[in-house]
Chain A
Amino acid sequence: MASITLDNVGKVYPGGTRAIGDVNIDIADGEFIVLVGPSGCGKSTLLRMVAGLETITEGQIRIGDRVVNDVEPMDRDIAMVFQNYALYPHMSVRQNLAYGLKNRGTSKADIEKRVAEAAEILQIGPFLDRKPRALSGGQRQRVAMGRAIVREPAAFLFDEPLSNLDAKLRVTMRLEIKELQRRLGTTSIYVTHDQLEAMTLADRLVVLSAGKVEQIGTPLEVYRKPASTFVAGFIGSPAMNLIKASSVPHLPGTAHAGMIGIRPEDLTVSADGPIQMKVAAVEELGAQRLVHGHIGGDAATVTMASDATLSDDLNLTYRPGSLHLFHPETGKRID
């Protein structure tokens, strides 16, 4: 077990693509960190730099107190779970689990014991002698996890491990991963583009955009106080409404803001509400409904009770203290 530190880390791919620029993250021992951001923002690149699968162009990565910039993946004492699982297709599940231990010269008896333990934890005992191709997606996922935990590494690295599973299984596995990590207390970095997955798993979130860190914080911190318009629009579902300050009548306390953020659940219909919305479409979710439309020139969404009356034009008011204000040029949060 170990802490992981990223100091001014940057990555330029051969060919000149800058994937990561100046990232600083301090990960405490035993912490579950989730890197979240849209596709192509550099999450995998950053994770693979920690794993040692990509070279580090700038800065320093430390695992424990050892600088690992020039350390081979096998000597970094980490385990990785890949998106496509990367199980060795010609080996049985047992051999898949044992491979890493065998390469490190673990004794036969010890290997057997650890494989049995991992199989027990992940309930893959019945499949130990099967080849990966004879397993379902969920079972493969467990084997991939098993391969990570048998080694008892200092850190787990996950690269979108659940994205090949169906929605229901994804929810179950998400809980299992969280529980497993709690139980083992192993420092983990988990990559996903799914903000809900990120919110539910993370001790702390790192929101990335275009290779840069937008915000680091606990899920609630990030949700309650998004540091930029990017984070505001990315975290939370349905997404926060971002409205140009000029498209609404002056609201108290918003003098310096360029953008005003209001979560759909913080808006309510009220005859004398200051904000006008033109309704375009309605989504029924059963318990509630999502009303989509425009406020000024910006797309906006409101959540309403499913029995509320609808009209084409709505007057809305907001819960006091629920406005998020952002700087007109930088898009950064103003407090």
Chain B
Amino acid sequence: MKRVVFNNKFLPLLLLAPQLIITAIFFLWPAAQAIRQSFLREDAFGLRTEFVGIDNYTALFRSSEYLNSFSVTLIFTVSVTVVTMVFALLMAIAVDRLIKSEKVYTTLLIWPYAVAPAVAGILWWFIFNPSIGILPYVLRQVGINFNWIFDPTDAMIFVVIASAWSRISYSFLFFLAGLQSVPASLREAAAIDGAGPVKRFFTITLPLLSPTTFFLLVVNLVYAMFETFAVIDATTLGGPAQSTNILVYKVYQDGFVGQNLGSSAAQSVILMGIVIVLTVIQFRFVEKRVAY
């Protein structure tokens, strides 16, 4: 192949410029601002700002509210990820077994993905609403009192379902593609080798799906930690009693509602760190694990 050589040193830069400028304005600049802010403290009237070193950080780790938000986030993130992936895998297995109407089911199952998280949140808000929602009504008929407005556990279940719902489609598509790329002859060979359907699934199919599973694990963890903001904001607002106040929502509450910019900035820097770690893990893994 012939390589095109640009003698002009500025042309490549010019071509890259739009992307670089957008990255700089919307990612690097705010990130730098957040890091700067996290070392500052503003007085109550916003008149004076002083440098306070790592005080904002140490204050965070002494605050029981922040530590609570950490454990809430852990429970929430793990639950959303597990619920999403288990359901997605079950559906993918079901659809993979169909031969004829596979396209129809796949199309139907993708729809939730097209719904914006905020809209999904409102949708589930209606369904779960203790006074007008259908679900609490049905549950009351069987003697279960489901009220996420007062009950922290119910609230957590509610936001987990609302958040997982729209993400199942995405994982489903990847799992389905993964399942369909496992050659039928492998399952047949295993069947002849004396493995029943369940054993076949756990010893052949699942290991071969592991690259897909790992990818989805990271993607879903990141989603549950960061992109569920809109769901929380449309439903519980972090309540009741901080029980669904996940880290990313707390950044917003403390910063924009509470006007505590220094603490909010420190929180977002910590979140940034978590994203970086997850991304590094993913890239490391993807590099190492070339497909079979």
Closest beta carbon of chain B to A97's beta carbon, Å: 10
B194 with A104: CB separation less than 8 A: yes
A33 lies within 8 A of chain B by Cβ:
no
Return the contact of B193 from the options A89, A90, A99, A131 (Cβ within 8 A): A99
Q: Is the CB of A78 within 8 A of B190?
A: no
* Cβ-defined contact, B193 with A103, below 8 A: yes
Closest to A98 in B: B193
Number of interface residues of A (CB under 8 A): 23
Q: How far is the CA of A90 from the CA of B292 in the complex (A)?
A: 7
Contact-residue size bin, chain B (C-beta under 8 Å from the other chain): 10 to 19
B188: A residues at CB distance < 8 A:
51, 53, 73, 80, 82, 86
Note all chain B residues with C-beta closer than 8 A to A51. 188, 192
With an 8 A cutoff between CB atoms, is A74 at the interface?
Answer: yes
> Which residues of chain A have C-beta atoms less than 8 A from B207's C-beta?
90
* Docked complex Cα distance between A335 and B98 (Å): 53
User: Which residues between 186 and 232 of chain B lie within 8 Å of chain A, taking CB atoms?
Assistant: 186, 188-196, 199, 203-204, 207-208, 210
Determine if A100 and B194 form an interchain contact, defined as CB atoms under 8 angstroms apart: yes
Q: Chain A 98-128, CB within 8 Å of chain B: the 1/0 string?
A: 0110011000000000000000000000000
A262 at the interface (CB under 8 A from B): no
CB distance from A305 to the nearest CB of B (A): 48
User: Are B208's CB and A90's CB within 8 A?
Assistant: yes
Known: A84-B183, A86-B183, A86-B185. A99 touches B192 (CB 8 A): no
Residues in chain B near residue A88, CB distance under 8 A: 186, 189-190, 204
Pair B191/A103 contact, Cβ less than 8 Å: no
Judge if A133 is at the interface, Cβ distance under 8 Å: yes
Contact flag A103-B192 (CB < 8 Å), given A86-B183, A133-B292: no
State whether the Cβ of A79 lies closer than 8 Å to any Cβ in chain B.
yes
Contact A53 B193 (CB under 8 A): no
Chain A residues whose CB sits within 8 angstroms of the CB of B210 once the complex forms: 90
B195 x A74 contact (CB < 8 A): yes
Complex: A72 Cα to B203 Cα, angstroms: 19
Contact B195 A103 (CB under 8 A): yes
| Bound-state Cα–Cα, A50 to B149, Å | 62
Measured CB to CB, the nearest residue on chain B to A80 is B192
Question: Scoring A residues 162 to 180 as 1 if CB is less than 8 Å from chain B, else 0, what string do you get?
Answer: 0000000000000000000
| In contact, A86 and B189 (Cβ under 8 angstroms) | yes
Interface code B257-279, partner A: CB below 8 Å = 1, 0 otherwise?
00000000000000000000000
Given contacts A84-B185, A86-B186, A90-B208, contact A74 B292 (CB under 8 A): no
Mask of A127-146 contacts with B, CB within 8 angstroms, 1/0: 00001010000000000000
Which chain B residues border A80 with CB–CB below 8 Å? 188-189, 192
Interface residues of A in 61-81 (CB under 8 A from B): 72-74, 78-80
A31, B232: Cα distance in complex, Å: 71
A48 to chain B, nearest CB (A): 8
Q: What is the CA–CA distance of A2 and B210 in the complex, to the nearest angstrom?
A: 40
> How far apart are the CA atoms of A256 and B208 in the complex, in Å?
63
Complex CA gap A84/B192 in Å reads 16
B192 touches A79 (CB 8 A): yes
The reply to whether B292 and A103 form a contact with Cβ atoms under 8 Å apart is: no
Nearest opposing residue in chain A for B199, CB measure: A103
In the complex, which of the residues A72, A84, A104 contacts B191, with contact meaning CB atoms closer than 8 Å?
A72
What 1/0 flags go to A264-283 for Cβ under 8 Å of B?
00000000000000000000
Q: Are A89 and B185 neighbours in the complex by a CB distance under 8 Å?
A: no
The residue from A73, A78, A86, A89 contacting B292, defined by CB atoms under 8 A apart: A89
B183, B185, B208 pick with most chain A CB within 10 angstroms: B185
Provide the bound-state CA to CA distance between A53 and B193, in Å.
Answer: 12
Q: Which residues of A contact B186 (CB under 8 A)?
A: 86, 88-89
Q: A182 CA to B231 CA in the complex, in Å?
A: 69
Q: Is the CB of A74 within 8 A of B183?
A: no
Most buried by A among B189, B195, B203, B210: B189
A147 to B186, CA, bound (A): 13
CB-CB < 8 A to B191: which residues of A?
52-53, 72-74
Q: Which residue of chain B lies nearest to A14 when distances are taken between CB atoms in the complex?
A: B99
- Interface contact A78-B208, CB-CB below 8 Å: no
Complex: how many Å from CA A103 to CA B199? Answer: 9
- Residues on the A chain within 8 Å of B195, using CB: 74, 99, 103
- Chain B residue nearest to A157 (CB atoms) is B192
Output the nearest chain B residue to A133 by Cβ-Cβ distance.
B292
CA distance A90 to B190 in the complex (A): 13
Separation of A127 and B190 alpha carbons in the complex (Å): 21
A-B CB contact pairs (8 Å), 10 listed: A52-B192, A73-B192, A74-B192, A78-B192, A88-B186, A88-B189, A89-B186, A99-B195, A100-B192, A103-B194
Which chain B residues have a beta carbon within 8 Å of chain A's beta carbons? 183, 185-186, 188-196, 199, 203-204, 207-208, 210, 292
- Beyond A74-B195, A80-B189, 5 additional contacts (C-beta under 8 Å) are A74-B196, A88-B186, A89-B208, A90-B207, A99-B195
Task: Please provide the 3 A-B residue pairs with the shortest distance between their CB atoms, ordered closest to farther.
Answer: A100-B193, A103-B194, A89-B292
